[in-house]
């Protein structure tokens, strides 16, 4: 696992969210994180926790019930780029 992804994974775990993060380096979602855990549903707890941690949606708008993929926990977010190039 790349260093930035491990740092984000540890940060999220310390804040109550178990998931696989991946920073996107190229393409139309460049500069965003994808966070996912197929065992979890996208719900208000995840939305609120990520918002309180300073994340926004991929479009830099506040996270909402439609930010996820509609079922399993998979969301594209912006924030915490301090883990990049550390």
Contacts of 30 (CB under 8 A, 6+ apart): 24
Q: Which two tokens stand for residue 52?
A: 């309180």
68-80: pLDDT as tens digits: 877 899 999 999 9
- What pTM, to 2 d.p., does this model score? 0.92
Per-residue confidence band for 86, with pLDDT thresholds at 50, 70 and 90: low
> How high does pLDDT run on average in the chain?
94
pLDDT at 70: 75
Average of pLDDT values for 46-61?
97
Report the distance separating Cα 44 and Cα 64, nearest Å: 8
Q: For the chain, how far is it from start to end, CA to CA, in angstroms?
A: 14
pLDDT of 61 above 80: yes
- Kindly tell me the sign of the dihedral angle through the C-alpha atoms of 19, 36, 12, 84: positive
**Alpha carbons 23 and 37: distance in angstroms, whole number:** 15
* Calculated CA dihedral for residues 81, 47, 15, 22, nearest 10 degrees: -40
């Amino acid at each position: 696992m790349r260093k930035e992804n491990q740092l984000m994974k540890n940060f999220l775990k310390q804040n109550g969210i178990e998931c696989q993060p991946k920073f996107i380096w190229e393409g139309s979602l460049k500069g965003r994180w994808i966070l996912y855990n197929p065992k979890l549903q996208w719900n208000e707890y995840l939305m609120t926790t990520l918002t309180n941690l300073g994340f926004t949606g991929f479009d830099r708008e506040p996270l909402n019930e439609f930010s996820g993929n509609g079922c399993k926990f998979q969301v594209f977010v912006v924030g915490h780029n301090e883990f990049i190039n550390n």
